[in-house]
Amino acid sequence: MAKINFGGVEETVVTREEYPLAKALEFLKNETIAVIGYGVQGPGQALNMRDNGFNVIVGQRQDSPSWERAKQDGFEEGISLFSIEEAAERGTIICNLLSDAGQIAVWPTLKEKLTPGKTLYFSHGFGITFKEQTNIVPPADVDVILVAPKGSGTSLRRLFLAGGGLNSSFAVFQDATGKAYEKAVAMGIGVGSGYLFETDFKKEVYSDLTGERGVLMGALAGIIEAQYQVLRQRGHSPSEAFNETVEELTQSLVPLVGENGMDWMFSNCSVTAQRGALDWKGRFREATLPVLNELYDSVASGKEAERTIQRGSTPGYRQELEAELKEVRESELWQTGAVVRQLRSKAEVAEEV
């Protein structure tokens, strides 16, 4: 395993150089990997493992859209595609990739299939960490591991097909066989990870829930809405407000920051932009620190998990969600965005021609 220095802190990282795919295949050669759920993470992980040569089957509710999607992806009914119950029965490594609400609903079924020596695999620490709300308590005689790709299943698959890999966290919650650690590493390599960073279930879910509600989605959406609103109220047109708030961020700055870092971005823009960014970033940091600390406390207390479970299990949640998304979609901000994306697509086509 590699020792890598991250900003002055040394961490142990697993790479495909130290733990190649051939080693993972050899270690898991006698395992039947049952991917339960074919929604967000399921397709990317199942297809990557199948393409890498692992023995993969899928468990999904029959006659659902996800069942049909699995069939379209080449999983064959009765051969590599089964009901959730049968796949869990056949699997020696049961990958619980259902939604958090789905995991709660199906847990009694999966628990029955967890005979001694099997492995229960997660890509999120939610169910285990918040067991008081989920009632997910694995038997003591099974391994419990986690591999959490740091991105969507779609990104995991796209990078895999391009010959790359998405970084993932991995963890062991319960080692009944003495082999749980290597199972987690081998599974991480199998699903198409680039680098594997060790963590634990609690830290994974705390950071994940904070990130989703913070910079990655909630804070990003909120600050975009705020800046767009200020520009519009000060007399700027919708297109100008959108371009200065979203288009330049997503199409120019964020990709460059990802490639080269924020310092590079600062050093490669005008003095006006440099001074503005450096002089104001502290103000934004100090303004948001109390909110982010409040958010982390809410995650750690279990309040966010409780809210997620309550809302996700509400019979009319899908309709409520669609109403919320419709409001976002039909706002002036994102209606403007739809037009800008169309213009961008036309420009890209014209450039190719």
CA angle (152, 139, 297) in 5-degree steps: 50
Q: Is 122 helix (H, G, I), strand (E, B) or coil?
A: strand
| Annotated catalytic residue within 50, 124, 183, 213 | 124
Determine contact, residues 36/95, Cβ cutoff 8 Å: yes
Tell which CATH classification among 3.40.50.720, 3.30.70.20, 3.60.20.10, 3.40.190.10 matches the domain 2-199.
Answer: 3.40.50.720
In this model, does residue 90 exceed pLDDT 70?
yes
Binding-site entries for Mg(2+): 208, 212, 244, 248
Distance, in Å, from the CA atom of 82 to the CA atom of 97, rounded to the nearest integer, reads 15
Binding-site entries for substrate: 270
In this model, does residue 349 exceed pLDDT 60?
no
Q: What is the pTM of this model?
A: 0.90
| Backbone angles phi and psi of 168, in degrees to 5 | -135, 150
Determine contact, residues 220/250, Cβ cutoff 8 Å: no
311, containing H or E segment: helix 303-312
Catalytic site residue 124? yes
In this model, does residue 246 exceed pLDDT 60?
yes
* pLDDT band, very low/low/confident/very high, at 1 (cuts 50, 70, 90): confident
Domain with CATH 3.40.50.720 in the chain: 2-199
* pLDDT band, very low/low/confident/very high, at 345 (cuts 50, 70, 90): confident
pLDDT (tens digit per residue) in 109-149: 999 999 999 999 999 999 999 999 999 999 999 999 999 99
According to the model, what pLDDT value does residue 312 have?
84
Determine contact, residues 31/213, Cβ cutoff 8 Å: no
Q: Phi/psi zone of residue 77: left (φ > 0), alpha (ψ -120 to 50 degrees), beta?
A: beta
pLDDT (tens digit per residue) in 47-79: 999 999 999 999 999 989 999 999 999 999 999
Listed in sequence order, the residues at least 6 apart from 97 whose beta carbon sits closer than 8 Å to its beta carbon are 35, 36, 37, 38, 39, 40, 41, 42, 45, 123
Binding-site entries: 208, 212, 244, 248, 270
